[in-house]
Amino acid sequence: MGELKNLVAAQQDVVVRAKNAGRQALLAGLGLVEVLKVEGEKLQAVDFNAKAEELKAKALELKGKLQAVDVKAEAEKLQAIDLKAKAEELKALALELKGKVLAVDAKAEVEKLLAEVQKLFAELVAKGEQRAA
């Protein structure tokens, strides 16, 4: 009889945990809806015609700068570069970077990323609770 009680209690615990997980997922969804609503309001406030004019002006400015570039002079500069010296420089830099990559503690980085994800999820749940209230 004791085993049956334990089995029932374990099943009830699973149901409670599933309900809590479902509630948190629902609240995170509500939080996401709230974030998207705010971002949508920001987008509605943007004057796209003004942005288009701004981008057009920048494009014209870049066009002028590109027309001012002396391609022949730039090509001569490129030909003057000592490729062997650059290759050695890049090889040394690659070896230095390889050492730095090997020194990175991947486990610590993953734990840091996981903590950030959990923080973001908690924020979404909090926003969902505020919206549900």
Shared domain check, 55 and 20: yes
pLDDT tens, the chain, 133 aa long: 677 777 777 788 888 888 888 889 989 988 898 999 888 888 887 788 888 899 999 999 998 888 888 888 888 887 878 888 888 899 999 988 887 777 777 788 889 999 999 998 998 888 888 888 7
- Helix (H) or strand (E) holding 73, with range, is helix 71-79
Question: 31 with 126: CB under 8 angstroms?
Answer: yes
pTM, full prediction: 0.42
Instruction: Please tell me the total number of residues recorded for the chain in this structure.
Output: 133
Per the prediction, the chain carries an average pLDDT of 85
Shared domain check, 49 and 22: yes
Shared domain check, 55 and 23: yes
Looking from the CA of 105 toward its CB, the CA atoms found within 13 Å total 6
| Residues contacting residue 67 through CB under 8 Å, at least 6 positions apart | none
Cα 68 to Cα 86: distance, rounded to the nearest angstrom: 28
Indicate the number of domains in the chain. Answer: 2
